[in-house]
Amino acid sequence: MATNLDLDDKLIEAARRLGGHKTKRDAVTRALEEYVRWLRQQAILDDFGKIEYDPKYDYKKQRRAGESNLVVEFVERTLRFCGPR
């Protein structure tokens, strides 16, 4: 999708050069990816301390029962949410 933006040429050139990007488009794309990743991380941090947990929950018992897949699923979902690095 073609989009015309009035961006600061010096800023774009500095980002392109410092990031080792070949084109302005590459630099802007990388900057947007980083910004989206940061926003997603902030959303996760905003939930810190708000999620209730059961202090009686025995995670070791669940692991012994072969339910450790829950942890793997959680990590996979988190990585999908945050996106690739």
Is the pLDDT score of 13 beyond 60?
yes
Q: What is the predicted pLDDT for the residue at 70?
A: 67
Q: What is the predicted pLDDT for the residue at 20?
A: 97
pLDDT bucket at 41, cuts 50 / 70 / 90: very high
Under DSSP, the state recorded for 85 is -
Residue 74 CB contacts under 8 Å (≥ 6 apart), including other chains: none
Burial class (CB in 10 A: 0-12, 13-18, 19+), 27: buried
Whether pTM exceeds 0.85 = no
Alpha helices per DSSP H over 1-85: 9-19, 24-46, 59-64, 69-82
Which one-letter amino acid corresponds to residue 16?
R
Q: What is the predicted pLDDT for the residue at 26?
A: 96
Give pLDDT tens digits for 75-84.
Answer: 777 777 666 5
